[in-house]
Amino acid sequence: NAGVTQTPKFQVLKTGQSMTLQCAQDMNHEYMSWYRQDPGMGLRLIHYSVGAGITDQGEVPNGYNVSRSTTEDFPLRLLSAAPSQTSVYFCASSPWSGGETQYFGPGTRLLVL
Amino acid sequence: EDKVVQSPLSLVVHEGDTVTLNCSYEVTNFRSLLWYKQEKKAPTFLFMLTSSGIEKKSGRLSSILDKKELFSILNITATQTGDSAVYLCAVMRGGSNYQLIWGAGTKLIIKP
């Protein structure tokens, strides 16, 4: 199993550009989530999904969209990038029965100029 | 507002020392408390605690939860340089809204 994969590893955007961060998992997990991690602030939940076709907002959803058309994929879209979105983004998945034990992808480092 | 607070924010000790990391929380519909270790990249799971007073142990690491006083501790004995990392505490909120609330982490540095 590849586990949780994320692409790209690093991205530079200009203010106002849009892009999609990709996340995929091959463990047949129902629960998937997106976090951003900023220095000194820990992980903050952006959006999460408890199964295909179901998504919900987390703590900091503004400026981001998600969709979950399959169990495997959970892309995160930045609609119009802003410098405040410069961060490291982690995707995670978990078996729904537990929800807690989340397996993290390697992260995407995003720089918005 | 739900919150998870970790202390200290950073800690520097020498190899062989024992350290105790703290995590306190105020979270509605508490379901479980988790500890993760983060080195250069993604967090990796250490422990999940759901019941008070029951110690979870893995090698030199152990953790316990106090649901009455709303805190948990993570102990590391006979520390090694490989234990240097950021240790994250998170609380799962249950009910109809399954979300992990994360602390800011404790940065642990082990000097040889």
pLDDT tens for residues A45-104? 999 998 899 999 988 999 999 999 999 999 999 999 999 999 999 999 998 655 678 899
* Residue A45 in contact with partner chain B when CB distance is under 8 A: yes
Amino acid at residue number A21: L
Q: From the list B31, B34, B104, which residue is nearest A42 (CB)?
A: B104
- The alpha carbon of residue A109 is apart from the nearest alpha carbon of chain B, in Å, by 11
The pLDDT, as a whole number, for residue B96 is 66
Chain A residues lying within 8 Å of B103, measured CB to CB: 42
Q: Are A19 and A13 in contact (CB under 8 A)?
A: yes
Cα end-to-end span (Å), chain A: 36
Within 10 Å of residue B54's Cβ, how many Cβ atoms?
A: 10
**Distance between CA atoms of residues B26 and B34, nearest Å:** 14
Low-confidence ranges of chain B (pLDDT < 50): none
Q: From the list A35, A44, A101, which residue is nearest B45 (CB)?
A: A101
**Going along chain B, which residue ranges are E strands?**
3-7, 10-14, 19-26, 30-38, 44-49, 56-58, 61-66, 71-76, 85-93, 99-102, 106-111
Taking an 8 Å cut-off on Cβ atoms, the answer to whether B42 and A105 are in contact is yes
